[in-house]
Structure 1
């Protein structure tokens, strides 16, 4: 969000002698700012000698001007970039002319000199969520000192953390943190409440990531190192206003994530895939693999149970395409959802699984459990990595083979990456119709090529012709989902696998998305279309006397375009 405020800054005037605009968190200031590093009266903007000046106040009152830290600066020019406590300020001298604010800059960006009595105004534009706050080294050092003091106090008191519930642990540690901060008596300009929260989050939670996890508008969190954090909001990458106090703090957070699910990370196994309690996907890498320090990538999933109507509202899919995918699931067609990284494959798989009838038995298989199915007869299996001795690993492929002995009506594999693709195809070909999975590919045709490669990764010496016949017999529908540069996700193609001809797998595209450029805000525009082709199984349904709606495949009328623009599912 970007807000604009006009503040009168008369120079030497009898009507308003001070002519000062105060910035800070106090009640009486003109521009209120929030944050631990914001003082009560943090900075002031004032007019003097025909120009506008800015000056920092108090201990944390330094300002960044064009990337340089200084106490005061002026006169402000049009091209100057000023950051105060994480807020980007654009200060433009103005004068009133018939109630209109007119800039008084020359063509080369210099301000026009004014007499000391000329009234001027300043425009202050704030965008705090887009700018990394200035973290003073003293603040990070203070967080570290409080954190270490709290840990030593807990050791002295011999607190057994294992017997405390999360709520009791947070309450007890919170009281201890507040006690330590009170005894340290930090400078009054410091936000004590913010200090307590940051230390508490780092001690018993996920540190500065807690606020991002609670923010529903953030879809991805990326920690490159302890003092370099980025987030994805509405499809855009932004530098995050948060830092860890140290490299050790990031390592503790990683351990806190992986320990509850029985996984480990150390120098002998320096990377790990894990999940949070809400199902969010976590990947962590530590040195020596990560040269900058421990890094974490968290892909969040919506706490809301998404329905197909939500994807339609986002513009990710059109109504008739949604109806067709529902029919495919209910008619037990084997479906592969194909797409690139972060395109929304798992989200779409979750939505399609809502159409599986409640009376069917479902077995889900994943590397790290992320799927959220709500049917009553559900078994969730998760692969297990090797232990410290290098033993005990159970890969997805073994779980797929074991699932065949569990009397499943449907097998749902979170993602096929390797040799498990062969076992998945065999399951589809041996009576387990209606199975669903996802895989990485840029187009439906590429998906078929990837399946061939993954089957070969199983180590079976099979001729390519036999592999293609297996794929053509097993896979019914490929749903291609694409993430565009603007951040929106859309189902760009739905294809039917119709068989093989001359050794080549045949595809018939049923629906497609045609891009038609971008709108004024840079978001993709286009329309969904039917190609006019009718899937073969619809003819079988009609012969069996089942109701079919062939009108959805008519190509004469283009499907309603969605010039959206949300970031998608």
Structure 2
């Protein structure tokens, strides 16, 4: 999907919500609903989009994308530097045209202080995750749509040293690694019809990355991702999930050639996120679970070390402890002074 440039006037009455930095999502279907960082999700009373604007909006986008939008092609998707746009044709809905706009700014919305102040996680588990990145642990971040999986991955990239080459793979550019990590070594790959996820993962082996950041694990490409990890590359990726303990099964079911033992051998940590969205209240997000995966002595093991704001155990699997010690980290729950 190529990137579009849309002038402000193209958004009509939607523009004020596009320009509001506290609004993360804008949705139209018989009414306008927005997701606001401080006010939660709410409807804009009295807001209307007339049929002529809606037609002009999707016609302009379809023309710029050089694609059709009609009964036979009912889904229109596009992206700009800071927006991801999805439009559903009224032939496939009972409620008319549906427009969804998600903002993808090149900023980190969360930092250590805000995480602790907002009860995103406990201080010791935040330290643990910082040390996990420094120890080159492979981390899968799970959660339902809209919980902030990509935002958390963006936060974790802060702990990747500048000299370690990062290879990002996305169909919509949301990680924005080079923009939020200026000066760090990075190759940003944008997936297309002619160069898919599997192609990008296979090509990455010749680019000598220390890290592969896969925007989302979805299907057969997981096989090639595990091959990269087995060759010594570390990884951060996201997955749609409702419980961290289900990650091995979810990954294994993404392809017939994905071996369960490989999942336990090469994925070190599973982090589950959740959010609470209420009308008129600040959207709250948090880490609900952190689980270790391990394969020792031909046995696969899952250890839940953090759940619902509490450390359940600090006894980590031997292979994970080894990774920390090789990085000079004797206690992963204590901030490293180096």
Query: Normalising by the residue count of structure 1, what TM-score does the alignment of the two structures yield?
Result: 0.51
- Whole-Å Cα distance in 1 between the matches of residues 121 and 218 of structure 2? 26
Alignment partner of 1:408: what SS? coil
User: Is 1:423 matched up with 2:228?
Assistant: no
**1:463-542 equivalent positions in 2, closer than 5 A:** 467-484=259-276, 486=278, 487-499=283-295, 505-513=300-308, 527-537=309-319, 539-540=321-322
Unpaired segments of 5 or more residues in structure 1? 1-164, 171-200, 386-392, 514-526, 554-569
Aligned residues: 319
C-alpha contact 1:343 1:483 (8 A) present in aligned 2: yes
Alignment partner of 2:11: what SS? coil
Instruction: Give the equivalent residue in structure 2 for 1:351.
Output: 155
**1:113-262 equivalent positions in 2, closer than 5 A:** 204-225=9-30, 228-233=31-36, 234=38, 236-241=40-45, 242-246=47-51, 248-257=52-61, 262=65
Instruction: Give the equivalent residue in structure 2 for 1:441.
Output: 241
Residue by residue over 1:468-487, the C-alpha shift from the partner in whole angstroms, topping out at 9 and shown as x without a partner, is 11111110111111123554
Compared with structure 1, are the counterparts of its residues 361 and 216 closer, same or farther at alpha carbon in structure 2 (3 Å cutoff)?
Answer: same
User: Which shows bigger deviation, 215-224 or 399-408?
Assistant: 399-408
- Out of 172, 186, 198, the position equivalent to 1:368 is 172
Instruction: Give the equivalent residue in structure 2 for 1:285.
Output: 88
User: Which shows bigger deviation, 304-313 or 351-360?
Assistant: 304-313
User: Is 1:339 matched up with 2:143?
Assistant: yes
- Whole-Å Cα distance in 1 between the matches of residues 207 and 333 of structure 2? 40
Alignment partner of 1:208: what SS? helix
Alignment partner of 2:24: what SS? strand
- Whole-Å Cα distance in 2 between the matches of residues 367 and 265 of structure 1? 20
> Which protein has greater RCO, CA pairs closer than 8 Å, 6+ apart?
2
Alpha-carbon offset, residue 211 of structure 1: 0.7
Alpha-carbon offset, residue 235 of structure 1: 6.6
Instruction: Give the equivalent residue in structure 2 for 1:297.
Output: 100
C-alpha contact 1:263 1:274 (8 A) present in aligned 2: no
- Whole-Å Cα distance in 2 between the matches of residues 512 and 265 of structure 1? 47
- Whole-Å Cα distance in 1 between the matches of residues 327 and 205 of structure 2? 32
C-alpha contact 1:495 1:509 (8 A) present in aligned 2: yes
- Whole-Å Cα distance in 2 between the matches of residues 551 and 292 of structure 1? 51
Query: Normalising by the residue count of structure 2, what TM-score does the alignment of the two structures yield?
Result: 0.83
Compared with structure 1, are the counterparts of its residues 255 and 356 closer, same or farther at alpha carbon in structure 2 (3 Å cutoff)?
Answer: farther
- The alignment yields a C-alpha RMSD, in angstroms, of 2.8
Compared with structure 1, are the counterparts of its residues 304 and 398 closer, same or farther at alpha carbon in structure 2 (3 Å cutoff)?
Answer: closer
Instruction: Give the equivalent residue in structure 1 for 2:127.
Output: 323
